[in-house]
């Protein structure tokens, strides 16, 4: 199960740059093709001492990671699969800056923490309402406003927090 997403503007592992921890107890999984950079901790920590703006930005990313984990835990516990599915699709769309999402049902199931069959039902429901189209390893957001209405409030909570901390 995934507890958060990192996209084109994100940083994974930001919470360890200011402390004395050198490793994370979990792995990052790339769900969608793209570019990423890996940075060695020692030079990054050295840079943070002379670059307060970078330190502040990484601190904000660390906060977003923490807020995302807490939000996901509550979301999984209290919201039905179709609303969580709409949320994850919107978040993925935001982070990829695209309405076309190259996600399989299996990948989405891992993201949501449900069985693949639950994803199939949720996507079918969203598709029948004209909010998305989905096919093999391809989902297209057709009605963003409708999908936002279908999503649980966790999407809006995290969107507002991301905008508050990072801007648009």
**What is residue 137's three-state secondary structure?**
coil
Does domain 80-162 bear CATH number 3.40.190.10? no
Q: What average pLDDT values come out for the chain (168 residues) when binned by 10 residues? A: 62 67 65 75 84 88 86 91 95 90 91 91 97 94 98 95 88
Ramachandran area for residue 73 (φ above 0: left; ψ -120 to 50: alpha; else beta): alpha
pTM for this prediction: 0.82
Domain with CATH 1.10.10.10 in the chain: 80-162
Residue 117 token pair: 């069959």
Distance in angstroms (rounded) separating the CA atoms of residues 128 and 157: 26
């Amino acid at each position: 199960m995934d507890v958060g997403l990192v996209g084109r503007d994100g940083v994974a592992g930001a919470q360890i740059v200011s402390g004395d921890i050198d490793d994370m107890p979990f792995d990052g999984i790339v769900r969608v093709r793209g570019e990423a950079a890996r940075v060695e901790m020692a030079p990054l920590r050295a840079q943070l001492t002379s670059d307060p703006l970078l330190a502040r930005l990484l601190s904000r990313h660390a906060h977003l990671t923490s807020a995302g984990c807490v939000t996901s835990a509550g979301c999984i516990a209290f919201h039905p699969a179709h609303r969580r599915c709409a949320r994850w699709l919107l978040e993925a769309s935001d982070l990829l800056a695209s309405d076309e999402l190259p996600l399989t049902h299996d990948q989405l199931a891992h993201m949501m923490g449900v069985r693949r069959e639950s994803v199939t039902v949720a996507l079918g429901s969203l598709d029948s309402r004209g909010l998305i189209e989905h096919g093999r390893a391809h989902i297209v957001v057709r009605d963003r406003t409708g999908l936002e209405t279908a999503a649980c409030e966790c999407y809006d909570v995290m969107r507002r927090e991301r905008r508050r901390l990072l801007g648009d």
